[in-house]
Structure 1
Amino acid sequence: MRSRRYRDRHGRGLRSPLHRAQVPARLSRAQSFAKVAAAEFARMREREPALLAEVIFAIDGVPPASSTEPCFGRVFPATSNRLTHIVLYRRVIEDHAEADTRDALIAEVVADQVDILRRT
C-alpha cells in the first residue's frame, strides 16, 4: 500500500505550515529584527529611565531618499508637537551584518543612538 503525501493542489509544497505559530523559526526576518531591537531598547530604557522615558522607538526598512549619507539609525529630537524618536533602518543593518553578528550590531546601533540622544 502506498503512503499518501499531503501536498498543495499543484503538488509543489506542503499544505500546512512547517512550524507552529509560536516557534522562533516561524518568525520572518523583519519580525526577528524587531524582537531583538525592542529587547535591546527595553534594556537601555531600564538603564536610563529618565533619558528614555518619553522616547519613541521605531524600525523602518530603509532611510528616506532625501538622506545624503548612509546610516544605521537616526535620532529625531523632540519638537513642540512631536516626541523624540529613535529610528533604526533594518535593511541597512542587515546588509552590513553577518548572520552571527546581527544581534551585536543591533545592540551597538541602539547604544550609539542613545549616546547621540544623550549628547543633544
Structure 2
Amino acid sequence: MDTPLTPPADGPPQEPRTRRRDRHGRGMRGPLAPPQVPLSASRGELFGDLVRDSVERLERRWPQLADVEFLVGEVPAPPGGPDGGWNDEAVPLGGMHSPEGGRPGRIVVYRRPVEIRTKSRDERAMLVHEIVVEQVAELLGLTPETVDPRYGQDGPE
C-alpha cells in the first residue's frame, strides 16, 4: 500500500517519516573502551602522562623542582616570535623560562615535534625524559648528567 503525499483531509498533517540508519532505535550501546583503559585516553593526555612520569622521577632527587611549572605545548612559537621560536635548521622539542618577577620557572615540552620524531611509546618516553632532563639542567645551571646520572643511556628505567 502506498502512502499518500498529501495529508488526510480529516485530521492534522502528519510528519513525514525520516529514515534513520539505526533502524532498531538502540543507538550506540556504550563507549568502545572503559575510561581506565589507555585506548580511551587522547594522545595529548598520554603525552602529558609521559611528562608527569619523567618529572616525578626527577623530583625525588631534586625537591626544588616542586616550584617549577611543567607544561605541554602543541608546537613551538613561530620563528622570530616573543619566545624566540625556531629556525630553518631545527625545531625545538622543549623550552625553559627562568623564574622572574615572582613567577616560577617554566619548562615546556612540545608534543607534536616529539611525536613526529618517535615511532613507539617507549621511544617517546625516552625522548621526553631526555628533553625534561636537559631543560631542568639548564634551569638549575647543571649538566644533564648531574641532573640524571642515566642521561643519554639507552633503555627504560
* TM-score above 0.5, yes or no: yes
For 1:64, give the aligned amino acid: A
Structure with more helix by fraction? 1
Residue ranges of structure 2 left out of the alignment (5+ in a row): 1-19, 143-157
Deviates further, 54-63 or 91-100 = 91-100
1:68 CA displacement: 2.6
* Number of residue equivalences: 109
For 1:58, give the aligned amino acid: L
1:64 CA displacement: 1.1
Over aligned residues, Cα RMSD in angstroms?
1.7
Residue ranges of structure 1 left out of the alignment (5+ in a row): 1-8
SS in 1 for 2:60: helix
2: CA distance between counterparts of 1:94 and 1:112?
Answer: 18
SS in 1 for 2:58: helix
Structure having greater relative contact order (Cα 8 Å, sep ≥ 6): 1
Aligned partner of 2:118 in structure 1 is 97
Between structure 1 and structure 2, the one with the greater Rg is: 2
The answer to whether structure 1 residue 32 and structure 2 residue 43 are counterparts is no
SS in 1 for 2:50: helix
TM-score normalised by length of structure 1: 0.82
TM-score normalised by length of structure 2: 0.64
For 2:60, give the aligned amino acid: E
Q: Which runs of 4+ in 1 moved over 4 A?
A: none
